[in-house]
Amino acid sequence: MRKVPDQWLSSILLSMYQRPAVTREEIIRSTLLNGGSASQALRYLIDSGTILKIGELKSKAGRRRDVLKLNPEAGYFIAVDLETARIRYALTSLVGDIRFRWEQELDFGQGPDISNLLFGIEMVRRNLEPWQQSRVLAVGIACPGMLEDDRLVTAVNLGWHRFPLLDKLSEVISIPVFLGASCRAYVLAEQGVGSARNTANCVYVELGKGIGAGIVIDRRYLEGNHHMAGEFGHITIDPSSDSQCNCGKRGCLEALASISSIVRRHAKLSGKSPSDRNGAHVSEVFEKARRNDPVALKVLDTVVKAIGLGISHLVLLFNPALVILGGELLLGEDLLLPGIKRELANHLPAFFGPPPEVIVTSLGMDIGLKGCALLAFQNSLASTDSLKKLTTPLTEAIVM
Ligand SMILES: [Zn+2]
């Protein structure tokens, strides 16, 4: 019977996530455990194979210190990123490395049913060996739109209104399922394995078919009263605008700067009839702008001004050190980023000092999957059953 408290194990495991090499002393510093507790918990985790010794450091006095890392094969997660036009599935290692992938395309407004999701999950899970199957700890899912009480999903693009996704999946999946809003998953990925690892205050801005923000202040993700903090796309940028937003308002940032609004506005100013606009893609607008097409440049100028102004509000409200941009709109990074930075600086008062750093995510299209894996990892550490699975020696069958 294990006598090491769950809390000691989970704080050590959390502190080691994605750290390729760490010493006992560094673990003590980051977990604030006392030396005796840390040693006891580490011995247990090394004996079970959850943590691996990967080398030794020798001090000048001749003292040896073990170099440790998490064993990526100690557990696995299933990550599901519900995007606007497709679902990405991945089987990840304990530390979020993607081992197997699967994708399903979606029609707008046609959300997947539960059997679709189960099929996708099975397509990545079936690649594991039988001994690995029992070490799949949890499913992490990133949901677009609105997520109430971590259970109910409302997403126009999926045709879901207060869809009880968590309850439905929990009825048919034997391992824990955790849901997170997409922007939460994205900013979590940036904190865990991306550019925000050493930043206590950062904002992730998703710029795609929808626009949203994940806000981290003092290392804590901002949820809000109904978990709706960060509905950045629906702040009004131009009250006099006649651009209609999906939310029913006019002049929202999303109505001015989302991918569909860019395509629509470019087509309209180019004199295309509504039937000619179908199938147009934002990359065509970017290509035209690169060839100095005046209509495309005019459309993107509006976009840059709207996004820069919007981000200045985030910066003044939350004072982040870092603003990370992601999403399909960044296909036009060369055309948009310099202008966004310029507009942001223009809208900050002189006393505020220099604007925060604004960068594009380095995690690419995998950002949602990485965030889902970390969401599942963090939540699993709070579960006694999952910790038991994770610390069952790899040579033993897991009996739960
Ligand atoms: Zn809106």
More confident residue, 224 or 313: 313
Q: Calculate how far, in angstroms, residue 319's C-alpha sits from the geometric centre of ligand 1.
A: 24
Kindly report which listed range (39-48, 133-142, 194-203, 273-282) carries the lowest average pLDDT score. Answer: 273-282
**269 touches 251 (CB < 8 A):** no
Q: Calculate how far, in angstroms, residue 250's C-alpha sits from the geometric centre of ligand 1.
A: 7
Residue at 158: amino acid letter:
L
Q: Calculate how far, in angstroms, residue 133's C-alpha sits from the geometric centre of ligand 1.
A: 43
Q: Calculate how far, in angstroms, residue 48's C-alpha sits from the geometric centre of ligand 1.
A: 51
> Distance between CA 68 and CA 46 in Å, rounded?
9
Mean pLDDT of all residues in 139-147:
90
Q: Calculate how far, in angstroms, residue 244's C-alpha sits from the geometric centre of ligand 1.
A: 8
Q: Give the pLDDT score at 108.
A: 67
Q: Calculate how far, in angstroms, residue 206's C-alpha sits from the geometric centre of ligand 1.
A: 15
Confidence of residue 398 (pLDDT cuts 50, 70, 90): low
Mean pLDDT of all residues in 137-145:
93
> Distance between CA 266 and CA 255 in Å, rounded?
13
Q: What is the mean pLDDT of the chain?
A: 90
Q: Calculate how far, in angstroms, residue 230's C-alpha sits from the geometric centre of ligand 1.
A: 13
Q: Calculate how far, in angstroms, residue 248's C-alpha sits from the geometric centre of ligand 1.
A: 6
Q: Give the pLDDT score at 263.
A: 93
> Distance between CA 143 and CA 150 in Å, rounded?
10
Q: Calculate how far, in angstroms, residue 249's C-alpha sits from the geometric centre of ligand 1.
A: 5
What tokens were used for 46? 């090394």
Q: Calculate how far, in angstroms, residue 183's C-alpha sits from the geometric centre of ligand 1.
A: 17
**DSSP, residue by residue, 37-97:** HHHHHHHHHHHHTSEEEEEEEE-TTS-EEEEEEE-GGG-EEEEEEE-SSEEEEEEEETT--
